[in-house]
Amino acid sequence: MSADEVIALPAAFSGQRLDWRDLPRHVRAQIETLAGAKVTAEISATSGFSPGFAAVLELADGSGVFVKAVSSEQNPHSPQLARAEIRVARALPPHLPAPKLLWSGDDGDWVLLGFEVAHGRSPELPWRPEDLALVLDALQPLADAEPLPGHELPRTDDVLARDFTGWRRLLETDRGTVDEAVERGGDLGRWVRENHEHLVTWEQDAVPLLVGDALVHGDLRADNLMIEPEHGRVWIIDWPHASVGAPWLDLAFMLPSVTLQGGGDPHTLFRSHSVSEGVRDDELRAALAGLAGYFTWSALQPAPIGIPNLRAFQHAQGVATLEWLRSLA
């Protein structure tokens, strides 16, 4: 896969992220109060889909902090995700390579989070073998981890029970919607039409397979990872979707994005990882059917406020997931 064929993350973010000067004065003042020093410079984050403010802030005392700030004006659901990320941060075991939450603030409108700065870079796309190897190695301790006692994280099967109904919802819609979903996939679309009832059955089998005791990030992609190659370290960032479930889900659900960004065959990568041990192909097929249905249905919906490029990427992920799923049918 060439660099021109790789799906960027994201391709067009102009106008969606806020700069320091765009934040209301009282929000800037609150951030400086929480940080304990005046802000002297900012380095904006360029990856990820979330609207709002996200930047490394350099402070007058010589320290730095990575700050997220969002209100319902950017997206009505973003404050809920920010509050969820605060809850998740309190549940993460200290040995995980996740930036520590230093402070947070919530005035009912603006939600503020201050993290330690994770040094490094995003994975290079197309995926470089050495970057991918580091990331895959980092998934083993994640799969072995459980949230701290007393956590408030939901169960993965509860979180995804509604999301994993895409094929059923497509079956219930008018023919034109189904045709729109499948025709965008060419030959793959014809396979979807011919196997729609199988996809519904597999999707229904998926939710019980999500159950487990492991910490599940739930949204692993290149833009939620940072690599320090000189130290052989991978930072796992952006945790608002974390839940408790089966330990192999993060690997399986990340690989479609890895494939469409030049990382290689997903099934080979999955089966070469120790996390896949004990997972039968029919169980993997069911989980992928649920994921593909979610992406396929979501890609047909209107773009969320402040995130105009999300649907195109969901469509691409859906196609990559379906290609893998078809190989297991």
- At 179 the pLDDT is 59
**CATH no. for 3-115:** 3.30.200.20
- At 11 the pLDDT is 43
- At 22 the pLDDT is 93
Domain 129-328 superfamily per CATH: Aminoglycoside phosphotransferase (APH), C-terminal lobe (3.90.1200.10)
Going residue by residue through the chain, which has 329 residues, state the pLDDT in tens, using 9 for 90 and above: 433 444 444 443 333 679 999 999 999 999 999 999 999 999 987 666 677 899 999 999 999 999 999 999 988 899 999 999 999 999 999 999 999 999 999 999 999 999 999 999 999 999 999 999 999 999 999 999 999 999 999 999 999 999 999 999 998 886 556 556 656 556 888 899 889 999 999 999 999 999 999 999 999 999 999 999 888 899 999 999 999 999 999 999 999 999 999 999 999 999 999 999 999 999 999 999 999 999 999 999 998 887 888 888 898 999 999 999 999 98
Burial class (CB in 10 A: 0-12, 13-18, 19+), 278: exposed
3 state SS for the chain: CCHHHCCCCCCCCCCCEECHHHCCHHHHHHHHHHHCCCEEEEEECCCCCCCEEEEEEEECCCCEEEEEEECCCCCCCHHHHHHHHHHHHHHCCCCCCCCCEEEEEECCCCEEEEECCCCCECCCCCCCHHHHHHHHHHHHHHHHCCCCCCCCCCEHHHHHCCHHHHHHHHHHCCHHHHHHHHHCCCHHHHHHHHCHHHHHHHHHHHHHHCCCCEEECCCCCHHHEEEECCCCEEEECCCCCCEEECCCHHHHHHHHHHHHCCCCCHHHHHHCCHHHCCCCHHHHHHHHHHHHHHHHHHHCCCCCCCCCCHHHHHHHHHHHHHHHHHHHC
Enumerate the domain spans of the chain: 3-115, 129-328
- At 154 the pLDDT is 98
- At 46 the pLDDT is 62
- At 185 the pLDDT is 54
- At 182 the pLDDT is 58
